[in-house]
Amino acid sequence: MTHFMCVQCAVQFANSDKPPSSCPICSDERQYVRLGGQAWTTMEEMSREHEVVLKDEDGVLSIGVEPAFGIGQRALLAETPNGNVLWDCVPLVTGAAVKALNERGKVKAIAISHPHFFSAVAEWSKALGDIPIYIHDGNRQWVMRPDPAIVFWGGETKSILPDVTLIHCGGHFEGSSVCHWKRQGKPNVVLAGDTLQVVMDRKHVSFMYSYPNVWPLNARAVKRIAGALEPFDYGQVYSAFWNMRILDDGKGAVARSVERYLKAIAD
Ligand SMILES: [Zn+2]
Ligand SMILES: [Zn+2]
């Protein structure tokens, strides 16, 4: 029995003797099946040619896999006086990476923005001491490896530590969520996954129903995301890929981005 991992999205599946017949996440209209056809690996196999890399991105620890594997996202560590939260996840767990995280304080929970970043989250939870994995109820159907550590949460917000709040935004996925991280003496941060995608100018974000298939969100969905974030104070936005961050006036940048997006898709 093996936990097979989809080569395209790097999501790990429940134990099975044979690889699953397809990957529902990649067969979905928001993703795609790779040109060479559906393929499978295991974490053990991919660990031979990949490593977990930790980088400091302007004061926020980023955890990614190199060379890039699957969708290529990196996770982020929200560090607080009451413990830390691993935001989103990567498909490889190594002893060295776990040790490096533990040296920065107890990781109390993992929270995942949406199904594209489920990756090896059950393995990460185990490696960090069977910590809870927060997934919005709207993404329940996309969990490919059920695990007792998974905590489905409903509603619009969920506080998981005194300074860490999950915010349900919808949009890209019904359960798409972001993480608000309150900091002392530094700007608060929105960890955005790809619910809001920081774009290359690092001054704006954009929104898509499907990024690889270039399929925009409608006005209602974008207004819903903006409305969900409105009550929160934040100065920085970190989205899902290496170096994609807005360091100054993040809240203003989101407001300006929403405005120009809605203008662009208007009649
Ligand atoms: Zn897949
Ligand atoms: Zn996605």
pLDDT tens-place string over residues 10-57: 999 999 999 999 999 999 999 999 999 999 999 999 999 999 999 999
249 CA from centroid of ligand 1 (Å): 35
86 CA from centroid of ligand 1 (Å): 22
**What pLDDT, on a 0 to 100 scale, did the predictor assign at position 238?**
98
Query: Is the model's pLDDT at 154 over the cut of 90?
Result: yes
Task: For residues 88-99, give the mean pLDDT.
Answer: 98
**Per-residue confidence band for 267, with pLDDT thresholds at 50, 70 and 90:** confident
Q: What is the dihedral of CA 198, 194, 29, 121, to 10 degrees?
A: 150
CA distance 172 to 224: 12
Helices H / strands E in the chain, number of each = 6, 19
**Nearest ligand to the CA atom of 239:** 2
Please answer whether residues 167 and 157 qualify as being in contact, where contact means their C-beta atoms are separated by less than 8 angstroms. yes
40 CA from centroid of ligand 1 (Å): 9
Task: For residues 102-125, give the mean pLDDT.
Answer: 98
**Residues whose beta carbons lie less than 5 angstroms from ion ligand 2:** 116, 194
74 CA from centroid of ligand 1 (Å): 17
pLDDT tens-place string over residues 231-253: 999 999 999 999 999 999 999 99
Q: What is the dihedral of CA 89, 91, 92, 93, to 10 degrees?
A: 40
pTM for this prediction? 0.98
